[in-house]
A and B are shown apart, each in its own frame.
Chain A
Amino acid sequence: MGMVPATHYLALGAVLFVIGVAGFIVRRNVITMFMSVELMLNAVNLTFLAYARTWNQVDAHIFVFFVMTVAAAEAAVGLALILGLDRHSQTLDIDTVNRLQG
């Protein structure tokens, strides 16, 4: 049973990260943008875990916990802000949010 090389996991992480970046830029819906960020965070987590295996350490697992916590915290605040946006302008389209510019 051959092990999948770490490089493949890393590659998957990179692909997911790039997809997240692209999603953030391409999508206009605030929630979807935020979901893209979550995708990026998961890509990072995958990277952490892949390296954890190559280094034979569990430290990285703990990092992933922290990242998850942070993601949760961000989600709480972020979704609250999104609710606020909806209250103010009844839209979730980020392109309409440009009162501040110049």
Chain B
Amino acid sequence: MIEYFWLALVPPLAGFLFNGLVGKRLPARIVSGAGCAATGASFLFLLAVFAEFIRLPAEEQQIVHRLFTWIQAGTFTAECSFLLDPLSMIMLLVITGVGFLIHVYSTAYMEGETGLYRYFAYLNLFVFMMSLLVMAGNYLLLFVGWEGVGLCSYLLIGYYIERKSAGDAAKKAFVVNRVGDACFLLGVFLIFKTFGTLEFGSLFETVSRTHPQPESGFTVLAAITLLLFLGATGKSAQIPLQVWLPDAMEGPTPVSALIHAATMVTAGVYLVVRSAALYSRAPDVLLLIAVVGVLTALLAALTALVQRDIKKVLAYSTISQLGYMFMALGVGAFSTGIFHLFTHAFFKALLFLGAGSVLLRLHHELDLFRMGGLRNSLKVTCWTMWVGTAALAGIFPLSGFFSKDEILWRALDSPLGHPVFWVAGLVVAGLTAFYMCRLMFLAFYGSPGHGHGESGSEAGTAVTAPLAILAGAAAVAGVVGLPAYLGDHRLDHFLAPVFRYSYDHGVSAGHGASHSLELLAGGAALAISLLGAGLAYRLYARDRSIPRRLANRYPGLHGTLLQQFRIDQAYSRFVVGGLKVLSRRVLWRAVDVGVVDGAVNGTASLFRRWSGVATRMQSGNTRTYAAWIVTGAALVFLYLYSVID
């Protein structure tokens, strides 16, 4: 059965086609049922595959299936080939598992929507594309999934088509992603040009042979990895392409949970880890990734501090956490990055779904400051979200603690790490705890906000069950990656075959540092998180006037934070606006209509003018005509004069 793992793609695709083609005329129950069933089937199938997979010896945990040759032109070949290895296995499980829960949640959340068939079709398509992305056996097929999830993201962000903002956000997401994709493509070209293949297996093997040692400086590998990383910044919303993700919250909340928190945005992380064989040989690029990760994490966390929109807070949090993951990758801790990806998928999905539950209750009121006091009416939501918050904030012993702690530790401990990363990570951890607790206090505590009373309740089991399951997962998922002082890091071992061609910097080996130091570092992180939480409690649970006063006193700073350091505005003004002006005023009106077409029409009118000259010869006067004849004769004489003698 395991060799048919790629059949996991079939149910979501079938679901997509079913809902897309005939869903419009079917009742909502069938539509949503089909959507859930497709993802569920895929998940179950993959569980079965996993059961078999886990039993294989480590060296056999690399199954390639070649379906057909997709593109072939001369020496260039792109197969439609699938790869199942621990990395894709774990990704697939997360995608379909979390995806299934979110499908189920959606049946309730999206109830009554007219375009339900579209929604589920897109969602299934997304699961298909995301699975394709992680299952792909070469860069080009990966790119198919890569673009495919971008497309689904576009469709789902723009799901509420009548909203202009949704359309804008969708378009922005796609176009910004395309910038990254373009770089990705260039990376792919360079890979082919350099190594002549795009298949992961043979490529990594070749690389390990031709480039046994990492080289610093601007090598070919550095160029490749840099280009791929630029692609990853698009998908994973890192600096400089982070601007689309906050806007992407225009989509339905479950979509935000699935695509813009749990799965799609982590594709960048996946890409880097998948290419670990390349990245591990380009230390300078790794450093850059770490720097970008840290900066993004800091920037997003700071921005999240002041957001009023509940989903925006979560969105910035996501960016920040992704930055964390990249920091891990940047210090060479690839499996740690995946570990955080794994845990993050649960708690961030949970948080978004919780937020969705709040929105359902409040009829899509997004402003945190108009909420409050929901803890009584939304009990399940409240406590599950606390679990999620705690996990995100890295409170022991929830999953987030382990993964985040490991990242911080690697940043300090890895030969590629640096204490600065660690310190920055600590700050982000504190900030995270602060803004998450701020969110919780604002939403669930204090006096009820405007427009809603104490009455009202949870939306139903379709909502609460996924919340509960995710809360459970968020709580315990850390067990797969216990730190050395607590036990076995199973994830590391599981993922080990993935990195067989990577250059081993000795990241996980430990550098003579003792467990105690690691323990100390973990304690520090925990302490900082608790500090952040406490501060939030002080500022938002008890007396909310301080933040307001702060904001009033430093409007510039507040605005800057609120506007994400105004990067987005700069982009839209200078890049987008600039291009529009360039296109409309310069290229179209001036160059195309003015110069190029002007030259054409100008030639035409020039000919008309010359025509006027030619017809002016034709005055109608016979004597003038005679003069012309004499002129002609004179010209002949003139020539003959020059010839004769």
Contact = CB atoms under 8 A, between A and B. Distances in A.
Interface in B183-230: none
Contacts of B630: 21, 25
Interface stretch (A2-10, A41-49, A68-76, A94-102): A94-102
Contacts of A26: 623
B620 interface: yes
A25 B634 CA distance: 14
Contact of A28 (B619, B623, B627): B623
Interface in A60-102: 94-95, 97-102
Interface string B602-645: 00000000000001001111110011001000000000000000
Interface centre among A25, A26, A28, A97, by most chain B C-beta atoms within 10 angstroms, is: A25
A33 B618 CA distance: 20
A94 B623 contact: yes
Interface residues of B, number: 10
Contacts of B622: 33, 94, 97
B620 A94 contact: no
Nearest to A26: B623
A50 to B, nearest CB: 20
Contacts of B627: 25
Contacts of B619: 98, 101
A31 B620 CA distance: 18
B271 to A, nearest CB: 74
By size class, the interface of chain A is 10 to 19
A33 B621 CA distance: 13
A18 to B, nearest CB: 10
B626 A25 contact: yes
Interface in B122-169: none
A101 B620 contact: yes
A31 to B, nearest CB: 13
Given A21-B630, A25-B630, A100 B623 contact: no
A99 B615 CA distance: 14
A98 B623 contact: no
Nearest to B612: A102
B576 to A, nearest CB: 55
B623 A102 contact: no
Interface in B52-67: none
Contacts of B615: 102
A96 B615 CA distance: 19
A95 B626 contact: no
A79 to B, nearest CB: 16
A98 B626 contact: no
Nearest to B621: A98
Interface string A4-45: 000000000000000001001110100001000000000000
Given A21-B630, A25-B630, A99 B620 contact: yes
A94 B620 CA distance: 10
Contacts of A24: 623, 626
B618 A102 contact: yes
A33 B627 CA distance: 13
Given A21-B630, A25-B627, A94 B618 contact: no
A99 to B, nearest CB: 7
Contacts of A102: 615, 618, 620
Interface centre among B618, B619, B622, by most chain A C-beta atoms within 10 angstroms, is: B622
B484 to A, nearest CB: 101
Given A94-B622, A102-B615, A102-B618, 17 more contacts: A21-B630, A24-B623, A25-B626, A26-B623, A28-B623, A33-B623, A94-B621, A95-B621, A95-B623, A97-B622, A98-B620, A98-B621, A99-B620, A100-B620, A101-B618, A101-B619, A102-B620
Q: Which 3 A-B pairs have the closest CB atoms?
A: A101-B620, A98-B620, A94-B622
16 contacts: A24-B623, A24-B626, A25-B623, A25-B626, A25-B627, A25-B630, A26-B623, A33-B623, A94-B622, A95-B621, A95-B623, A97-B622, A98-B620, A101-B619, A101-B620, A102-B618
Interface of A: 21, 24-26, 28, 33, 94-95, 97-102
